[in-house]
Amino acid sequence: MLKKILLVFLLFSFADARADDGYRLWLKYDLLKNTAKKAEYKRFAGFIEIPTEKSLIIRTAQSELKRGLEGLLGNRIAGVAKKSGGIILQRDKTLPEEGFRIETKGGNLVISGPDDRGILYGVYALLRHLQTEQPLTGINLSSAPKIRLRMLNHWDNPLGTIERGYAGASLWKWYELPENLDPRYLEYARANASIGINAVALNNVNASARFLTPEYLIKVKALADLFRTYGIQVYLSVNFASPKILGNLQTSDPLDPQVRQWWAAKADEVYRYIPDFGGFLVKANSEGEPGPQEYGRTHADGANMLAEALRKHKGRVIWRAFVYSPDPHGDRYKEAFNEFKPLDGLFADNVVVQVKNGPIDFQPREPFHPLFGAMPETPLALEFQITQEYLGFSTNLVYQASLYKECLESDTYAKGKGSTVARVVDGSVHNYDFTAIAGVANTGSDRNWTGHLMSQANWYAFGRLAWDHTLSEEQIADEWVKMTLTRDPNAVPVIKNILLQSREIYVDFTTPLGLHHIMGQGIHFGPEPWLTQSARPDWTSIYYHRVDSTGIGFDRTAQGSNALGLYRQEVQNNWNDPASCDLKYLLWFHRVGWDKKLSTGNTLWDELCTRYYRGVESVQWMQKEWNRVRKSVDSEIYEDVAGRLAVQHREALNWRDACVLYFQTFSKQPVPSPFKQPERTLEEMKKLVAIYQLK
């Protein structure tokens, strides 16, 4: 296996000779044009010294550092250490786990870490420092991750498809593994390690039991062996009914002794293939997936049974809280809270409950999930969706760092003011022993990895915030633009501004003022606010917006579903009064009349129209701004992004016209001046959107 990994290294060494089409992500070690900076950096580029005990990760760190320095500075790094003028990699057990320190000492630059991962992360931090042309003289930089498990969840299937994947087929070529290691696997590992991601779940949470068979375990082992050299641990999503599917048992009841024995034996088998296997990710009793409730058992019963099987191997169970029953008279907003809150304190100590950032399903904007701050005895992992299921797939530019930060900085008031979601997740509010955060991956087989090149920024931002949630979306955007697109001082602020405005623009032309879940059913693409029937009531649009001639919105106050009552009083106070509720959450919590005057001075109807029209105009603004940087970015990248922005403008028009025309049939009011009535009819929009849903 080591020979295969070395071969992949050699194959990768030719990648930089290709055109700049986004393949290298943010790991572009192109020659710096700033001669002053190059001179400053070369003072410490005479040699690289590594610890005597050379692990695979240390060799990775050495190789990556050498590659980066030679690319950025244009000279080869000597193989013989001298007294000064070089970079020393060393272990320092006094530093926090996986952390690092970068400092100048004795004429050398010293990168220290308490473990090999820390040293590797320190190397990537230094290279980021150089790529963004920051001062190196007198540097004294230290950092450590605030969250221990920083994971990507892949929704990849055995046949190469990706559920909610918009960048081509799966990265994992299962039919070629384990014999053939695609060079992209190593490049993927490099990208993750460079932003501090230390774990991946390889397969879809709607899991095939096939992944637990020897046929697939040997394939998973091949990936785990490669990823290990970059400090990345492998997890698998498992099908809860595997004892029946694979073991021919009559039941998968978690309290059945035979079932427990089957899982224990299966865990032993997995660890024989992969000794440092991370554990199981589980979606159970959700959207048709099997689970313990089929046998009258709780989520805690199911999770604890798996936790017992993994315990001696120090493995963990990550149990997803995405559950909701099809109750036409209920409120899906409350389902996960009502099921999991009573189980607080009943989960085994190697179980983490993974909770989506919001209570519905990765909408363009959601209030933070009420479970955060409500389960002090159970470690909660935060799950974001990097892939753009509800954010325009791969044709829309939406920088999600703003979405991530909005959730992370929301205050739960679990232990008074300042008990943010971020501090709940990092364990500082409830003193969780183990902490975790996950992002549903947006990668695929497309040459540029993410379909829309600008979506690379969302992968990057997730990793950076998983490491340190106090970073600002502005800083992350600045880093990504300089490392990926251009260091032209005139172009960087323009591109940053596009990124920073993009999420709000998308919300404006799709779901302004707190509208949610009004997209096309099935593929979740395009507008379908008129959807009144589906396989489940909570898969329709009318379930959420509840429009009629009197107004629009879901009343979640005490007079309605009382979902607001799931939060602490301080949070309720922010949202309980429609007159003072932040407009971005207004229709999440309130039914509002069409003629109700809002804080903007407009009536609800006029404000709704204003935002839909403003959203379309803002996409045109993004197009003009992108045109300003034409000469500062690679021509292939420029043209690809420009083309996708043109598509986004067309899709924004579809959203605007469909929603304005549909809601107008209830408001019975004209589109306010200076905006003009859509040229297309509602029937035309319905026919157009129906085409989206064809399979």
Question: Reading across the β-sheet that carries 87-91, which strands appear in turn?
Answer: 48-49, 87-91, 108-113, 100-105, 140-143
Position 18 scores a pLDDT of: 45
Residue 621 pLDDT exceeds 60 = yes
Q: Hey, is 645 helix, strand or coil?
A: helix
Average pLDDT over residues 421-444: 98
Instruction: Encode pLDDT of 636-680 as tens digits.
Output: 999 999 999 999 999 999 999 999 999 999 999 999 999 999 999
| 243/53: higher pLDDT | 243
Average pLDDT over residues 330-339: 97
Sort residue 95 into left (φ over 0), alpha (ψ -120 to 50) or beta. beta
Q: Hey, is 109 helix, strand or coil?
A: strand
Q: For residues 439 and 151, is the Cβ–Cβ distance under 8 A?
A: yes
The C-alpha atoms of residue 443 and residue 653 are separated, in whole angstroms, by 28
pLDDT confidence tier of residue 17, bands split at 50, 70 and 90 = very low
Position 329 scores a pLDDT of: 84
Sort residue 553 into left (φ over 0), alpha (ψ -120 to 50) or beta. left
Instruction: Encode pLDDT of 172-183 as tens digits.
Output: 999 999 999 999
Which residue in 139, 144, 213 sits closest to 174, CA to CA?
213
Instruction: Encode pLDDT of 560-597 as tens digits.
Output: 999 999 999 999 999 999 999 999 999 999 999 999 99
Percent of the chain, pLDDT > 70? 97
Instruction: Encode pLDDT of 463-510 as tens digits.
Output: 999 999 999 999 999 999 999 999 999 999 999 999 999 999 999 999
Instruction: Encode pLDDT of 3-15 as tens digits.
Output: 555 555 544 444 4
Which residues are identified as catalytic? 287, 361, 389
Position 15 scores a pLDDT of: 43
Q: CA-CA distances (angstroms) from residue 31 to 64, 67, 288, 495?
A: 15, 12, 53, 22
For residue 232 the two structure tokens come to 């990345």
pLDDT confidence tier of residue 81, bands split at 50, 70 and 90 = confident
Task: Say if strands 100-105 and 140-143 run parallel, antiparallel, or are unpaired.
Answer: antiparallel
Where b means 16+ CB within 10 Å and e means fewer, 589-615 reads bbbbbbebebeeebbbbbbbbbbbbbb
What pTM does this model have? 0.96
Give the mean pLDDT of the chain.
96
Instruction: Encode pLDDT of 500-514 as tens digits.
Output: 999 999 999 999 999
Q: CA-CA distances (angstroms) from residue 691 to 502, 509, 659, 678?
A: 27, 20, 17, 20
Instruction: Encode pLDDT of 535-549 as tens digits.
Output: 999 999 999 999 999
| 522/168: higher pLDDT | 168
Which residue in 523, 390, 404 sits closest to 457, CA to CA?
404
| Domains within the chain, CATH numbers bracketed | 31-141 (3.30.379.10), 149-484 (3.20.20.80), 506-554+591-692 (3.90.1330.10)
The C-alpha atoms of residue 690 and residue 658 are separated, in whole angstroms, by 12
Instruction: Encode pLDDT of 285-319 as tens digits.
Output: 999 999 999 999 999 999 999 999 999 999 999 99
Position 14 scores a pLDDT of: 44
Which residue in 429, 584, 399, 639 sits closest to 500, CA to CA?
399
